[in-house]
């Protein structure tokens, strides 16, 4: 995307209004709701309501989604959509699309925002987005001001929150839209190791906030192999399919993230932090596409700006076989890849560990 320096004031939206009704109190799901926080990998439409260049509410985005474009940065469903379907829940609606509207039988909320990251300054040159801390602020409003209207006692609300899943997918933009961007001085201030530690320390504070708000079942995805995405692999001179030096940067983060989640699970009573070990899986898909039913792991399916390295161009038709492509645009993967990742995490405790999602909802 063009490097435009745009300053926006963050606007906290009006509270979401909920309708109290019997049907929301006791759904027969292993998890009554999913609350999603993160970036464009899981954004389901929040950026539609924000002044930013990072939007996906137009074709060809959503070409394979049942209702067309929604603001998801892919051709169809994201990984958290597949998780919600597995749990028997409706797809999780974006928080900003629901402000001012009454909702009954709410299956959770999605606070994720494309282009943003763990650090508050990440991605802001593209326009307004919700950093991870701002997303937790909005979740706090939901939990403290809105959800109590649906439950007769604090104990019932606490039980609901403890059974719900909290999905976190964040951090890749802190590299793509911060550390690797020349308009920031981050690389002069931090070594790769110290930057990874800075990210993990900042993330830790917000994950502890989630716990204090009542979250108990929290799964956090690693950062994927961003050195393989077209926006990096096609712009940086290198040998091989991926820029391995860039992949090495995020592996420093992932290693510290694993230790963090183990420590939080041991230190916070009743908590279950699960790590989505998706980096290795996503890398294997890129290197061995035929094993996963894919063919093209280098080029975007849609026609993008900047010669295959940026966002899809409005209205241009995508490739005829997106289910054979790894990448949808210059930054994001296709629904086919999200489905593989989701199914692996749902069933396989070596991918999502120490508990698969199927196991996490029953602990």
**19 and 102 in contact (C-beta within 8 Å)?**
yes
Measured torsion, CA atoms of residues 71, 344, 336, 168, in degrees rounded to the nearest 10: 20
- Angle CA 96–42–320, to nearest 5: 115
Q: Which residues contact 293 (CB under 8 A, 6 or more apart)?
A: 323, 324, 336
- Angle CA 38–345–61, to nearest 5: 50
DSSP for 37-81?
EESTTT-SSGGGGSSBS----STTTTTTSTTS--S-SSSS--HHH
Measured torsion, CA atoms of residues 89, 92, 98, 103, in degrees rounded to the nearest 10: 10
**Residue whose C-alpha is closest to residue 115's, from 181, 33, 176:** 176
Q: Which residues contact 146 (CB under 8 A, 6 or more apart)?
A: 15, 16, 17, 18
Measured torsion, CA atoms of residues 251, 255, 261, 262, in degrees rounded to the nearest 10: 160
**Whole-number Å distance between alpha carbons of 168 and 165:** 10
**Whole-number Å distance between alpha carbons of 177 and 113:** 13
- Enumerate the active-site residues: 40, 329, 332
Distances (CA, A) of 208 to 6, 134, 361, 363: 31, 15, 20, 20
**Whole-number Å distance between alpha carbons of 210 and 219:** 12
**Whole-number Å distance between alpha carbons of 252 and 45:** 30
């Amino acid at each position: 995307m063009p490097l435009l320096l745009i300053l926006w004031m963050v606007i906290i939206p009006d509270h979401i209004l909920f309708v109290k009704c019997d049907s929301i109190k006791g759904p027969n799901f292993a998890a009554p709701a999913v609350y999603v926080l993160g970036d464009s990998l899981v954004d389901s439409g929040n950026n539609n309501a924000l002044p930013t260049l990072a939007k996906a509410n137009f074709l060809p985005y959503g070409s394979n989604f049942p209702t067309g474009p929604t603001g998801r940065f892919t051709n169809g469903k994201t990984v958290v959509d597949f998780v919600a379907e597995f749990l028997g829940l409706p797809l999780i609606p974006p928080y900003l699309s629901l402000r001012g509207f009454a909702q009954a039988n709410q299956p959770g909320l999605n606070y994720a925002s494309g282009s943003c990251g763990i650090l508050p300054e990440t991605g802001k040159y593209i326009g307004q987005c919700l950093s991870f801390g701002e997303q937790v602020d909005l979740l706090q409003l939901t939990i403290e001001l809105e959800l109590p209207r649906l439950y007769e006692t604090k104990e019932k609300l606490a039980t609901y929150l403890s059974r719900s899943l909290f999905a976190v997918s964040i951090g890749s933009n802190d590299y793509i839209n911060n550390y690797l961007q020349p308009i920031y001085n981050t690389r002069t201030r931090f070594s790769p190791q110290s930057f990874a530690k800075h990210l993990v320390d900042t993330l830790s504070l917000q994950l502890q906030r989630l716990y204090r708000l009542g979250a108990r079942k929290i799964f956090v995805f690693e950062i994927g192999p961003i050195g393989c995405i077209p926006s990096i692999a096609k712009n940086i001179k290198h040998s091989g399919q991926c820029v391995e030096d860039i992949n090495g940067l995020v592996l420093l983060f992932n290693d510290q993230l694993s230790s963090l989640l183990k420590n939080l699970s041991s230190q916070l009573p009743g908590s279950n932090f699960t790590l989505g070990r998706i980096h290795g899986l996503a890398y294997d898909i890129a290197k061995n596409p035929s094993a996963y039913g894919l063919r093209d792991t280098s080029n975007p399916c849609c026609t993008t700006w900047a010669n295959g390295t940026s966002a899809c161009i409005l209205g241009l038709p995508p490739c005829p076989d997106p289910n054979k492509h790894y990448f949808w645009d210059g930054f994001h993967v296709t629904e086919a890849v999200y489905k593989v990742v989701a199914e692996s995490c749902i069933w396989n405790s070596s991918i999502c560990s120490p508990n698969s999602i199927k196991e996490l909802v029953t602990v």
